[in-house]
Structures are given as C-alpha cells and as structure tokens.
Structure 1
Amino acid sequence: MTDQPTVTLNDGRTMPQVGQGVFLVPPEEARTLVETGIRLGYRHIDTATFYQNESGVGEAVRASDETIFVTTKLWNGEQGRDRTLAAFDRSFNELGLDWIDLYLIHWPVPSQDLYVETWKTFIELQREGRVKSIGVSNFQVEHLERIVGETGVVPVTNQIELHPGLQQNELVEYHREHGIATTSWSPLGRGAMLEEPLLAEIADKHGKSVAQVILRWHTERDLVVIPKASSEGRLRENLDLFGFTLDEDDMARIASLDRDQRIGPHPNSM
C-alpha cells in the first residue's frame, strides 16, 4: 500500500481515502487507465455496472501484484432479489476477482420501492463472502433509516454527489453520527468548480492546483474521494494531496461556496 490514509469502515475493514473513478471511461480504455493509476499509487478503484467497464478494471487489477480495493455498483433496473443476484454474478464474472471489496446500490429509486428488498439481498451476498463490504449510493436520510430499521445492518458508506457547490452538510453529519463513511462522487463538480476564483486564490496561496485544493478539502473533512482523470498527469496530481493542509480561513471560505448546486439528479426524482 502507498502511504495515503485509509478510512475505517463500520465493519472493521479499511478503504483507501483517495480512489480512482472510471465513470465515462470507455471499456476499451479502462484497463490501460487503471493500470496507470495503480502504477502511480492508487489502491482503490471505483466502477459500476452502469459504466460498462468492469471487465477492463478487473483485467488491470488481476495484472497487478498490489492489493487493490475494488468498488462496483448495482444498476437501477436490476433491483429486487432475483435480479440483484443475477446482476451480482455478472459483475463478479466481469471483474474476475476472488471477491468484490465493496458493492453499492447505485440509486435508491424510491419509485420502484425495491431498495429494501435489494439491501436484504446484499446482506445475503455479504454472508456468502463473495463481497466483503456493502453500502449504498445517493441515499437520503429517509432511505437510510428505512433499510437500517428493517434489517439492522448499517451501510459502510453512502456515496453521494458532493463538492464545494453542494456540500450536503446535514447528510454528512448524519453519516458521522451513524458510523457511515461519506464517499464523494463528482468531487470536483465535473470540472465546474475549477473555474471558481476563490478556489484559485487558495490554490495560489499554497502553490497547488485548484483540483488539489478541492480534493484536499474533501480529505480534511474525512471524506473519501473518487476523482476521475483521463491523463497520467491528472491522475498523479489528484493523488498528491497530503503535502499541505488548508487552514481555518481556507475551510471557512470554501464553506461559503455551498449553493445546493446539483449536477446529477436528486435521488428522490429517480
């Protein structure tokens, strides 16, 4: 493992705090990009059925001698016990690994009302041992309370859209109170936050890039980040976050950027 920090999950396992996201990475490019990430020091790769690149991710991980933490996700149309079991088998076979480190329900999709049944199936899968940890993505408090209330099993993480323009402080605090790690997807706001003048000022102050300042802001809040990058230079930059710290003034200024500004859909609209 590299010397980057890890987050301890509520099931006792650890997850590297900085991961390599592969959303929108074409299947034919996934293996090369993930191999590059692993060579640079990434030990956490985040994929999903919806991304259609699990096979390339698995090839890169299997080709490495390193211990890699792999996350994948169940897509919306595959919820419900039987469909979940079949979808997990497909992901398991696509990745070709001995186990999956973390399996997430990608969206709650409350209109289907299948996420509780799906969560119960995740618990079964974990007990079988082919998936080590189970969690959710894009769940709101009411969704979390329902699955925990009906099963007694708390997700290890909730992966949510989170960046300076959408800080989700109440949900993050709920996670902290209940032992749920927060994982930030789109931690740079899909690039929109890179043009923010206030962040550029902070970056100049520290001699770092705006992206590094934003990602450091996440890690100083004890959040897990999974930025996506398509070049070796950006992959290297996104991992180089631990040689500087943001002071109280920096953190307060970034806090002022919270505008409840979503890029993706609201979970209740799915």
Structure 2
Amino acid sequence: MSALLLDGKALAARIQAELTHEVRSLQERFPRPPGLAVLWVGDNPASAAYVGNKNRSGAGVGIDISKGQHLPATLSEAELLAIVDELNADASVDGILVQLPLPEQIDSNRILDRIDPDKDVDGLHPTNLGRLVRGEPGLRSCTPAGVMRLLAEAGIDLAGKTAVVLGRSILVGKPVALMLLEKNATVIMAHSRTRDLAALTRSADVVVAAVGKPGLVDGAMIKPGAVVIDVGINRITDAAGKSRLVGDVDFASVREVASAITPVPGGVGPMTVTMLLANTVQSYRRRVGS
C-alpha cells in the first residue's frame, strides 16, 4: 500500500487564489485593503526566509504589508512594545505578527501578550488560546489550523478516531490537540517523557508529529491504514555534504503503511502561511463590518 499524499502546496495555492478573489470583491465595497504588519527583529537567516515568504504571499493576495518592519537586533523590549502599541491603534492594520525567535533581551511572551487579540493573526495570544479551549470563535494558531484544513480537504472523518500528538508546544502540539478534540477525536499527547512511544503510535488512527527530531517516526511505529501528519521541518546534511529538509517522519517507510501522509517539504509548511493570510482576511472582515 502506498499512502495518499496530502499535498499542502496545491491546497495552499487554491486557498490563496480564493483569498485573492475575496479581497478583490471586498475592495469594491470598502476603502482600504486588509493590512498585515510582520515585525522581524535581528538578522536570523531562517527568519529572513520566513518573513520574506509571508510578505510575498500576503502581497500576492492583495494584503497591504507596508506596515511591517525589519528592526535591529539591539532593539529594546520597551521599544518593541511601543511599536506593537502603535500597530494596535492603527485602524489600517488588521493583523500583527512578531517573527520568533526574538533576541535574548526581549521577553517573547510579553510581546505576544501585548498584541490586540483581534489582530493576533498568529493565534498565540492567551485570549485566542482561551477561546480555542472554550470552543469559541477566534483567530486560530496557523500551523494547527493548516493541519485541520488538510484533514478536512482529504475527507478524513475524525469522530471516534484515536489521535496521537507527538509534541506539546504552545505553537503546535497543544492547540492541534484541542482542535482534534473539537472534531470528536480521542486525543493522546506524547512527549519526551512518554514511555513506549511506539506502542502508542501503533494504536493511533491519526498521528501528528511535531517534535523537531528527524526520522523519529518510522513505518514500524504506524498502524496500517493510519493517517500521518508530519509537522517537523529539520535541515540535515548527507554524507556528500548536501543539505535538505526532512520531517519528523521517515517518509519512505511510513508511506508504505499509512493510508495518507504529508510530505516535507510541501505538506504542512505551505498551509501555515496560507492560514496566516486567511486569519488576516478574517480579521479585516470583522473590522470593516463585512
């Protein structure tokens, strides 16, 4: 058996095309486009790539990205808080995203907590996480929301299924577990202190791997016919000195056992940026009264 490939790149392109059409339609009724401000502090090369991708994608669907800023690594926490305050008060900005990690002199939680929850398009503010816990409408964390959209588009019914989530971060593990619960899955969370991880994963109908360990999950750990979502993005260097991106799942062996699987790259990654854009448009609609 060779698993169905859950193509996040293709789905992301389709959703972005739909967002482009929606933004154009809204522009006929409202005087300004959606506004997204991405704040990047320092010169982390990975952050540069992520911010560039977000800005290009945002501009591509018609979102105004002009309020974003690239700030020096020496920036103080007080200065960054002041910038966030300005963006909170700016009526032309619907979404604010602070690219992580931040320099060591800045407390990330203090910055994230300062963002207006209704402009928190990364879905990381305590208010939005609380709304998720309570099952209330709100801006959802982008990567977990992308995972759920992939599952929905593939027609995978989660009700009554056993889902094992590997990883308990606030970015992916915890919110995706809550989203799976919303869909009536029975959710088990595993982490670095979990005993006999393989026994857990072999019991699962759905496995979501988000721990940042290349090839952690192999085919022997998967129940035949299970759905496997690989959130990991790890850069490795082979014997020839060439680097490449791999996930937390050993794709070749798992694909022969699972019924559906996401590739790395091209699976969850493109969906993360797309859900950020969807959150920005959602915030815009709310703010202009659409």
User: TM over 0.5, yes or no?
Assistant: no
TM-score of the two chains, using structure 2 as the length reference: 0.30
Higher gyration radius (CA): 2
TM-score, normalised by the number of residues in structure 1: 0.32
